[in-house]
Chains A and B, each alone.
Chain A
Amino acid sequence: MAAEIEGRRKTYIPMLDEMLGGGMPAGTSMLFTAMPGVASEVFGCQIIAERMRNDGDISFIYTNTRTPVEIEHVFHRYGWDLRSYLDSGQTFFVDSISPMMGMPAIGKYMIDDFKESEKVVAEAIADIVGGTAVIEDVATLLDSIGVDQTFDMIERLNEVARSNDVNMIYLFTRWNYEKVMLGRLSGIVDCEVKLFSVEEKVVYRQVFAVTKSNWSEASGTKIFFEVLEPGGVRVFIPKLLVTGPYNAGKTTFTHAIAPNTVSVERQTFELFPTTVGLDIGHLDYKGFSADVFGTPGQERFDLLLEPLGREAIGTFIVIDSTKPETFVRAKEMIRMCRTEAIPKVIIANKQDLPNALSPDEIKKKMALWEGVPIVPVSATDEKGLSEALDTLFSLIYEI
């Protein structure tokens, strides 16, 4: 991460400022490209609300998707009081939606024809020298005035913003546009942050990543976030779950992928240690950072499975390849973790033993769901670990 540089203007999005070397240089533009369904407007709200609160910033919001009244309500939900800033003139609307809905426009500027957008927004930019402009939503412009016209407009507005030291924040819902067009759009802004989801049948986690930056390194590191009402964008450290039947080698596997793991174990009557609490570790692998939780396999600890599963973004199900009689229990644990809807990989452990079943034989015996990968591993010899991690991460991120 780049060191913080004097004069950078914070976005107040956690982790984003760190990744951008402190924030945005004055006069630069940032595009938030959001997969449909992923919260994007909160990023625009947070940047201007926190800048107004902390830096006395001046700003405006250009809207073609929500009426000013609705936007005020959205800010309120996240815990920011837009009204007082509107009253004091610290922020204002460029209202491009009310006239089209046949309602009276609210705000300093209004647009009743999309073709007027550029002229009006340029005037508004000149009103907020050194401030911040939020433009929502680029998708509506693209599909209303046309791709080339929208690009020309954005390029010219960015010029006006540069000469007025204004930060442009574009919000863009990425419906099924062509790749070439998306590349061109990315090319005309200084910085692009992609917002996307991690999913298995349904979206269950949201992620952002800086994919382009003209002033800092764009590492592409994926940051998991959630949106709180009130509170706004919050980042969190994803959790991976390691579960599976008793004595399948979960603790050995957890230690192998996360070497600093702490375990609570005790000797059983059979004289090998078994986990009676949790294995807790942390993993840094190819730019992915996650906490790892290994569950105990004994049935008396089953009550732990559900809350752990709820927090997890991916699951390793460790099975003992030499003990097909435990496979039913493995499937039961998957159900109890409620991890049907998150990516999972079966770890066919103990492949070093002579009587270990092959992945294909296990697949047949377990009657696995379509598409759940099974990776042969020997946790004691640390064999198959990177294959296991790569397989799960590629499922999580759909690489």
Chain B
Amino acid sequence: MIPKIVSGIAGLDELTGGLPENTMTLVYGPPKTGKSIFCYQFLRQTVADGDLCSYLMTDYTQSQLEQQMMAFDWFIHDYIRDKKLYVIDTASGSVGAMQKETKNMMISSPQNPTDIASKVIQQLQDIYQQTQQFRSILDSSTTLFAFNSPILVIRVLKSYIMRIKMAGGTGIITYTEGTAETEIETMLKASVDNIIYLDSETITIEAMAGIRPKSAGYRITDNGIVVG
């Protein structure tokens, strides 16, 4: 049996049996299909399990994440206070360059993958000292594609995925369909272990170790994504 972890998305685990541990899952689809909400729910489950989380955010800041989750009545304040959340924020960008950084809250820039990689590794060192089981979220790789040559982003993501998995993590990466060429999308899919597609009505498990491709309906409610 492949060890699985609870995804936190209502109904999804009934469909898949959970996400395989120590793998990377690509969550992709057109804009506004719930990819970020998927991430919030995944984080919410991480909080509930008391696990550490490495969160690379490119489109919102930590306080915006907190607010967006609060809209669903999900609270992460204590989790942040307890230093269980490790954030790399490339959304504040150059305006935030003067902001004070801590081990749990680092600022980087979407066009500087070298710096992002170095900060991911610094945080993973800290996480690894505490646990060999944690979760990671990268929301969204789309922004990286917007600021860098696509092939460079693929290299960066491969390195990122390798680092997370070596340190024992289980993670998700989001991507907005159509932002890169088909060829690049194929390479992106080849870099991850599991692939989940959202199209605003149907969630499709395109690839996952141990199960056949399958799909189910979903909707976005006050409790986030509900599958089935």
Determine if A202 and B97 form an interchain contact, defined as CB atoms under 8 angstroms apart. Answer: no
Q: How far is the CA of A161 from the CA of B117 in the complex (A)?
A: 31
Number of A-B contacts (CB under 8 A): 91
Determine if A204 and B155 form an interchain contact, defined as CB atoms under 8 angstroms apart. Answer: no
Q: What 0/1 pattern do residues 112 to 136 of B give for CB contact below 8 A with A?
A: 1111011011001100110010000
Interface positions, chain A 19-78, Cβ under 8 Å from B, are: 34, 36-41, 64-67, 69-70, 73
B6 partner residues in chain A, CB cutoff 8 A: none
A362 interface residue per 8 A CB criterion: no
Determine if B166 and A175 form an interchain contact, defined as CB atoms under 8 angstroms apart. Answer: no
Determine if B128 and A70 form an interchain contact, defined as CB atoms under 8 angstroms apart. Answer: no
B69-77, B81-89, B156-164, B214-222 - interface stretch: B156-164
Taking a contact as CB atoms closer than 8 A, the residue among A69, A137, A202 that contacts B121 in the complex is A202
Determine if B114 and A40 form an interchain contact, defined as CB atoms under 8 angstroms apart. Answer: yes
B98 interface residue per 8 A CB criterion: yes
Interface positions, chain A 295-327, Cβ under 8 Å from B, are: none
A204 partner residues in chain B, CB cutoff 8 A: 125
A69 touching B97 in the complex, CB below 8 Å, given contacts A37-B121, A41-B114, A97-B111: yes
Determine if B166 and A202 form an interchain contact, defined as CB atoms under 8 angstroms apart. Answer: yes
Determine if A175 and B156 form an interchain contact, defined as CB atoms under 8 angstroms apart. Answer: yes
Provide 23 A-B residue pairs closer than 8 Å at the C-beta atoms, listed in order of the A residue: A37-B118, A64-B111, A65-B113, A65-B114, A65-B115, A66-B115, A69-B94, A70-B94, A70-B112, A73-B97, A97-B111, A143-B155, A173-B113, A173-B114, A175-B152, A175-B156, A197-B121, A201-B167, A202-B121, A202-B166, A203-B124, A204-B125, A338-B129
A135 interface residue per 8 A CB criterion: no
Residue from the set A40, A41, A201 with the largest chain B CB neighbour count within 10 Å: A201
B159 partner residues in chain A, CB cutoff 8 A: 36-37, 175-176
Q: How far is the CA of A139 from the CA of B132 in the complex (A)?
A: 32
B151 interface residue per 8 A CB criterion: yes
Q: How far is the CA of A66 from the CA of B124 in the complex (A)?
A: 23
Q: Which A residue's beta carbon lies closest to that of B151?
A: A143
A139 partner residues in chain B, CB cutoff 8 A: 114, 152, 155
Q: How far is the CA of A38 from the CA of B120 in the complex (A)?
A: 11
B109 interface residue per 8 A CB criterion: yes
A341 interface residue per 8 A CB criterion: yes
Determine if B109 and A37 form an interchain contact, defined as CB atoms under 8 angstroms apart. Answer: no
Q: Which B residue's beta carbon lies closest to that of A341?
A: B128
B interface, over-half SS: helix
Q: Which A residue's beta carbon lies closest to that of B118?
A: A37
Determine if A175 and B109 form an interchain contact, defined as CB atoms under 8 angstroms apart. Answer: no
B112 partner residues in chain A, CB cutoff 8 A: 65-66, 70
Determine if B111 and A65 form an interchain contact, defined as CB atoms under 8 angstroms apart. Answer: yes
Residue from the set A66, A69, A70, A97 with the largest chain B CB neighbour count within 10 Å: A70
B67 interface residue per 8 A CB criterion: no
B168 interface residue per 8 A CB criterion: yes
Q: Apart from A66-B115, A202-B121, list 4 A-B contacts with CB within 8 A.
A: A65-B111, A143-B152, A202-B167, A204-B125
Q: Which B residue's beta carbon lies closest to that of A145?
A: B149
Determine if B166 and A140 form an interchain contact, defined as CB atoms under 8 angstroms apart. Answer: no
A144 interface residue per 8 A CB criterion: yes
A202 touching B115 in the complex, CB below 8 Å, given contacts A37-B163, A144-B149: no
Q: How far is the CA of A34 from the CA of B148 in the complex (A)?
A: 19
Q: How far is the CA of A70 from the CA of B148 in the complex (A)?
A: 17
Q: How far is the CA of A97 from the CA of B118 in the complex (A)?
A: 20
A101 interface residue per 8 A CB criterion: yes
A66 touching B128 in the complex, CB below 8 Å, given contacts A34-B114, A176-B158, A202-B167: no
Taking a contact as CB atoms closer than 8 A, the residue among B124, B147, B156 that contacts A36 in the complex is B156
Q: What 0/1 pattern do residues 171 to 203 of A give for CB contact below 8 A with B?
A: 001011100000000000000000001000111
Chain A residues packing against B (C-beta within 8 Å): 34, 36-41, 64-67, 69-70, 73, 97, 100-101, 103, 137, 139-140, 143-144, 173, 175-177, 197, 201-204, 338, 341
Determine if A140 and B121 form an interchain contact, defined as CB atoms under 8 angstroms apart. Answer: no
Q: How far is the CA of A67 from the CA of B90 in the complex (A)?
A: 13
> B139 to chain A: closest CB distance in Å?
20
> B94 to chain A: closest CB distance in Å?
5
Q: How far is the CA of A67 from the CA of B93 in the complex (A)?
A: 10
Q: How far is the CA of A64 from the CA of B109 in the complex (A)?
A: 12
Q: How far is the CA of A315 from the CA of B152 in the complex (A)?
A: 37
Determine if B158 and A101 form an interchain contact, defined as CB atoms under 8 angstroms apart. Answer: no
Q: How far is the CA of A73 from the CA of B109 in the complex (A)?
A: 13
B132 partner residues in chain A, CB cutoff 8 A: 201
> B62 to chain A: closest CB distance in Å?
19
> A67 to chain B: closest CB distance in Å?
5
Q: How far is the CA of A30 from the CA of B168 in the complex (A)?
A: 37
Q: Which B residue's beta carbon lies closest to that of A176?
A: B155
Determine if A201 and B168 form an interchain contact, defined as CB atoms under 8 angstroms apart. Answer: yes
Query: Top 4 nearest A-B pairs by Cβ distance?
Result: A175-B155, A37-B121, A143-B152, A143-B149
B114 partner residues in chain A, CB cutoff 8 A: 34, 36, 40-41, 65, 137, 139, 173
> A117 to chain B: closest CB distance in Å?
14
Q: Which B residue's beta carbon lies closest to that of A204?
A: B125
Q: How far is the CA of A97 from the CA of B148 in the complex (A)?
A: 11
> B117 to chain A: closest CB distance in Å?
4
B98 partner residues in chain A, CB cutoff 8 A: 73
> B26 to chain A: closest CB distance in Å?
18
Q: What 0/1 pattern do residues 147 to 185 of B give for CB contact below 8 A with A?
A: 111011001101100010011100000000000000000
Determine if A140 and B152 form an interchain contact, defined as CB atoms under 8 angstroms apart. Answer: yes
A66 partner residues in chain B, CB cutoff 8 A: 109, 111-112, 115
B109 partner residues in chain A, CB cutoff 8 A: 65-67, 70
